[in-house]
Amino acid sequence: MDTFILIGITGIGLGALYFLIASGLSLIYGLMGVLNFAHGSFLSVGAFVGFWVASKMGFETSMPEFILAMIVGGLAAGLFALLIEQLLITRLYDRHIDQALVTVGVALVVGAVLGGWFGNDLRMFPTPMWFLTAIDIGGAKIPADRIVYIATAILLLIGNWALLKYTRIGLIIRAGVENRNMVNALGINVRRAFSTVFFLGGFAAGVGGVLVSVYSNGVSPLIAGTYLIYGFIVVVIGGMGSVPGSFLAAMMIGVIRQFANYYATGLGDFVVVILLAVVLLIRPQGLLGKVRA
């Protein structure tokens, strides 16, 4: 039973990391129709800036210092995302192939610059000692960092929900995901909402980058690629443009992958791909996605 709980909570923790990456991807695609392959570079920028801030605190950080590193990493990634949107994406709206090519280019350039600067080897991310402890849940010893991943994802989900539900920009984003042209026809410059979404998506990916670096035992430019693939899988299974859908799909994938890896010895990735194929066949719009007219 304790093994079952351990795998389950570890899976939810992994799902939380996937969600941090997928939430921005989903909103960016849902609102703007942009398949953003540069999203992994937002994760890398957040991870490296967070690493730089945490390193300034010493080899071991306190919890407030770690949170500060995470927020600064998130903000840096958000600003980087905004810069990419303003410099490149705004010129390519409704040119989907060009968008894909440019965002792939950004991902390659950022990966190469970071690799050239810091090298591709893992660098240990300074974390609070508390992360190395285990918390007893139902007899299972759960690594404390998993709780941080889950709490961060839940906070982000609540923040996202509150923004979308209670602010005018949130109203514009929700309407824009459904019908961008009609929002424009109401006299609203929907492109301002695009910039907000890019910043928020970048922020979430940056925070995710810091946590992914902790989970992966170090920061490296190579980590982003793997997590971006999972981010896309989550978005497709959850439904393009649906943040709750991304949350649900991320948790499902994290848990299923962990259980499959344990009980079917390393078949986690295979099972996730099968799940993706099944969802695409049965419900192509994703779990909580809407069919586009």
Partner 1 sequence: MNALVVRDLHVKINESHILHGVDFDVPSHKVTALLGRNGVGKSTTLKGILGLYPGTGSVQLNGQELIGMPTYKIAQSGVAYVPEDREIFSTLSVRENLALASRSKTNSEAFESIYQLFPELNTRAAQLAGSLSGGQQQMVAIARAMLNTNEILLVDEPTKGLAPKLVTEVADALAKVAEATTMLLVEQNLALVKRIAHHVVVMDQGRVIFQGGPENLDDPSWVHQMLGVSGGHK
SS3 content of the chain, % helix, strand, coil (to 5): 75, 5, 20
Sole residue written with tokens 């586009």: 292
- Please give the angle made by the CA atoms of 95, 101 and 107, to the nearest 5 degrees: 130
Contact letters (x/-) for partner 1, 210-229, by CB under 8 A? Answer: --------------------
Asked if 290 touches partner 1 (CB under 8 A), the answer is yes
Residue 189 to residues 116, 124, 176, 182, 184, Cα–Cα distance (Å): 40, 44, 10, 11, 6
Asked if 287 touches partner 1 (CB under 8 A), the answer is no
Helix (H, G, I), strand (E, B) or coil at 122: coil
Asked if 163 touches partner 1 (CB under 8 A), the answer is no
Token readout for 171 is 């109203």
Asked if 187 touches partner 1 (CB under 8 A), the answer is yes
Asked if 182 touches partner 1 (CB under 8 A), the answer is yes
Asked if 188 touches partner 1 (CB under 8 A), the answer is yes
Minimum distance from residue 31 beta carbon to partner 1 (Å): 13
**Which region among 92-100, 106-114, 155-163, 180-188 touches partner 1 (by CB under 8 A)?**
180-188
Closest CA to 228 of 127, 120, 106: 106
Q: Residue 272 and residue 9: Cα distance in Å, rounded?
A: 18
Token readout for 177 is 């995901």
Contact letters (x/-) for partner 1, 120-159, by CB under 8 A? Answer: ----------------------------------------
Sole residue written with tokens 């989900």: 157
**Which listed residue (86, 120, 184, 217) binds partner 1 by CB under 8 A?**
184
**Which listed residue (175, 222, 229, 267) binds partner 1 by CB under 8 A?**
175
Number of residues binding to partner 1, judged by CB under 8 A: 18
Q: Which is nearer to partner 1, 117 or 168 (CB)?
A: 168
Asked if 183 touches partner 1 (CB under 8 A), the answer is yes
Q: How many helices (H) and strands (E) does the chain have?
A: 11, 2
Q: Residue 59 and residue 36: Cα distance in Å, rounded?
A: 34
Asked if 291 touches partner 1 (CB under 8 A), the answer is no
Q: Could you say which residues in the range 35-94 bind partner 1, by CB under 8 A?
A: none
Asked if 3 touches partner 1 (CB under 8 A), the answer is no
Q: Which residues bind partner 1 (CB under 8 A)?
A: 168, 171-172, 174-175, 178-179, 181-190, 290
